[in-house]
């Protein structure tokens, strides 16, 4: 996608600096909205899921929005993807007979989870994540924690104690999914260190977790 950021020309920038005037930038155009083929509603690409038609005529999710081909956009809600599959709206949007598998909504949910877990895995390998309630409490106590990630099973006093810290909490996957990242059978609580010059993890992990949660909570079933 071509960047929409308007860049101030070098001569104008220099002139403003000499004159002591503030450097003004041209208005930045709003990001083009996409229209959901299932609901007709418009939203920014970040709130949608892009699909393309693969070489075999299959509908393929393009979560990274990088695959070639004409994009078909659906709201990042499972109910919207389910509707697009059930009503054969992908074929209508593609103006061709394409194949949208019955398990496409489930596959999208799985891919969203995998992408968010991949970011969490990168934080772990960078030494920026700690697993287990005791280690999480220690990171909080030292003032190093910037984000708490908890499994879907998290509940009760443990979750309440972490919530009392005032740190943002993101639900992501189940205990088995988190456990695999840390070489454990199960993991329920994870803390992510505050971002530093070594890498920005918190924003990506939090956004990925919110996207996964929002998708699965908006199901027609």
Residues 66 and 151 grouped into a single domain? no
pTM of the model: 0.82
Stretch 35-60: mean pLDDT: 96
pLDDT of residue 217: 86
Mean pLDDT of the residues in the chain: 88
Residues 92 and 164 grouped into a single domain? no
State the Cα–Cα distance between residues 58 and 160, nearest whole angstrom: 45
User: Is pLDDT of 9 > 90?
Assistant: no
Residues 132 and 65 grouped into a single domain? no
pLDDT of residue 27: 52
Residues 98 and 128 grouped into a single domain? no
CATH number at residue 156: 3.30.1330.30
Domain range for 40 is 34-102
pLDDT of residue 196: 81
Total domains, the chain: 2
Q: What is the pLDDT of residues 79-134, one digit of tens each?
A: 999 999 999 999 999 999 999 999 999 999 999 999 999 999 999 999 999 999 99
- Tell whether 136 is covered by a domain: yes
More confident residue, 219 or 184: 184
CATH number at residue 48: 3.30.1230.10
């Amino acid at each position: 996608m071509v960047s929409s950021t308007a860049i101030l020309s070098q001569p104008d920038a220099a002139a403003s600096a000499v004159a002591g005037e503030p450097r003004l930038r041209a208005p930045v155009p709003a990001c083009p909205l996409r229209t959901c083929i299932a609901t007709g509603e418009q939203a920014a690409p970040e709130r949608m899921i892009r699909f393309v038609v693969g070489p075999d005529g299959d509908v393929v999710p393009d979560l990274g929005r990088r695959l070639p081909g004409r994009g078909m956009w659906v709201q990042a809600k499972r109910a919207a993807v389910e509707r697009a599959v059930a009503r054969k709206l992908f074929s209508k949007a593609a103006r061709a007979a394409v194949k949208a598998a019955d398990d496409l909504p489930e596959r999208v949910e799985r891919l969203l989870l995998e992408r968010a877990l991949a970011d969490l895995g990168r934080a772990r390998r960078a030494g920026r994540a700690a697993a287990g309630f005791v280690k999480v409490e220690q990171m909080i106590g030292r003032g190093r924690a910037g984000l708490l990630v908890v499994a879907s099973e998290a509940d009760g006093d443990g979750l309440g104690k972490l919530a009392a810290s005032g740190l943002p909490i993101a639900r992501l996957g189940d205990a088995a999914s988190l456990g695999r990242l840390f070489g454990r059978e199960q993991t329920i609580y994870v803390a992510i260190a505050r971002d530093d010059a070594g890498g920005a993890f918190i924003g990506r992990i939090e956004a990925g977790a919110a996207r996964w949660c929002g998708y699965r909570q908006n199901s027609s079933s």
